[in-house]
Amino acid sequence: MNEKVIDFTIGADPEFACVQGRSIIAACDYLDDNADSDFGSDGNDITFELRPSPSKNPIQIVNNIRDIFVRQVIKQPEFLKFKWVAGSWHKGYPFGGHVHFGLSNNQIRHTDAVEFLDHYVGSCCLLIEKQSDAKKRRSDSYGHMGDMRVQDWGFEYRPMSSWLSSPYVAAAMLCLSKTVMYEVMNNSKFQWHQFVVADDFPKCNQDRLIKQFPAIWDDITKMHLYQTYKPYIDLIYYLVKNKLTWLNANDMKDCWGVVDMKRCIGEKVGVDFLWSRYNLEQSNNTIIQ
Amino acid sequence: MATTPTTPPTKAPKKKKIYNSGNFFSAPAKVEGNFVTIKLPAKVAQYLDLKDGSKVFWSPVNGVVQISANVPSVVIPMMSVATSGFLPK
């Protein structure tokens, strides 16, 4: 590792949709969106977009996301009656899982940073997306290799589809993003490799990428932060090796624990209590392995 | 009178009571050192409410949970899913 450690914040604005029966709910019918709201709508007025506070700790962002969900269903309980969906695409609408990096172009050329992310984060994302949906999302110029947007606070990495399907997946993708970029910023001696080509993104070329995966994973496990986030990042290995997608059989809101727990929780134990305990454990770094 | 040194009796592993009501479920628990290890079905939640301030282990991959052996009881809510819930390609 380099002598001077450079740490940085990451953030995200993942998208999802609410479905009722066969109909997709229009976000604009439920939200008076403004740019400052952490629960807003995407530019198409259909999909919902979360804007959790950035953090240097990717797990904190997962917690911030759940906090937003909980506050939203308290504010508008009708959201609990909808089915929530994330992933790549649903009923004509693409979902993005953009990840933000608080790094200026002076710290690292953004085009260079995105290239590293494509080979390690983008490749893993493609391998666990549902292939047919991933192709649909990237049928135009959206979500392709090198897709990024420069922002005042840094840059936005845009090829990933929405990893909001469960906190497990969210944690895995955010931790991997942080791990890769941390290595880029702090280990000038790391032996980087190239795995993806531009065609892999619009075609979601899983057949080609699965052959690359052992080498991709070998590199990831050598990165400095991998050991820190191993319990979370290892989910990617599990999904790829077992030929699973990041989509869950359960409703997304159940995966996030955003349910009406009154009927199944005892007198004194509430879901907020559970999460506050979890948050406390996280802040104290008391996860044990 | 001379006394014969004796080996302290080995304590039988403690059994932890795990609540099982409504959407809660029960799981076998094994005491190992300072921790109780519970092998959870993969679809079960990763968050535990412990009656004291005990540690929580969140493992999305193998569903193993470790808690302090001093905890008198554990409540496990079914509020999330892990590996078995993921859909195949």
Using one digit for the tens of pLDDT, what is the confidence trace for A198-251?
999 999 999 999 999 999 999 999 999 999 988 788 889 888 998 989 998 777
Q: What does pTM read for this prediction?
A: 0.76
Nearest to A288 among B47, B48, B57 (CB): B57
DSSP H or E stretch at residue A93: strand A93-94
Which of A65, A239, A252, A265 to substitute to test the interface with B, most B CBs within 10 Å? Answer: A265
Q: Is A148 helix (H, G, I), strand (E, B) or coil?
A: strand
Q: Are A255 and B80 in contact (CB under 8 A)?
A: yes
| Structure token digits, residue A58 | 């990717």
Nearest-Cα distance to chain A for B23, in Å, is: 5
Owner of token pair 């979500």? A143
**Among A187, A188, A210, A214, CA closest to A200:** A210
User: In this complex, do B80 and A166 lie within 8 Å of one another by their Cβ atoms?
Assistant: yes
Chosen for mutation from A268, A277, A279, A282 (greatest number of chain B CBs closer than 10 Å) is A277
Identity (one letter) of the amino acid at A221? T
Query: Which residues of B fall within a CB distance of 8 Å from A131?
Result: 89
Report how far residue A235's alpha carbon sits from residue A220's, in angstroms, rounded to the nearest whole number: 13
ipTM above 0.90, yes or no: no
What 3-state DSSP class applies to A156? strand
Give residues with Cβ within 8 angstroms of A184, minimum separation 6. A108, A113, A116, A190
* A248 contacts in chain B (CB < 8 Å): 81, 85-87
Q: So what's the pLDDT on residue B71?
A: 42
Q: How does pLDDT run along chain A (289 residues), one tens digit per residue?
A: 888 999 999 999 999 999 999 999 999 998 876 767 899 988 788 999 999 999 999 988 988 888 898 788 888 888 999 999 999 999 999 999 999 999 999 999 999 999 999 999 999 999 999 999 999 999 988 899 999 999 999 999 999 999 999 887 898 999 999 999 999 999 999 999 999 999 999 999 999 999 999 999 999 999 999 999 887 888 898 889 989 899 987 778 877 767 554 433 333 444 455 555 555 655 554 433 2
Backbone angles phi, psi at B52, to 5 degrees: -115, -165
Neighbours of A26 (CB within 10 A): 16
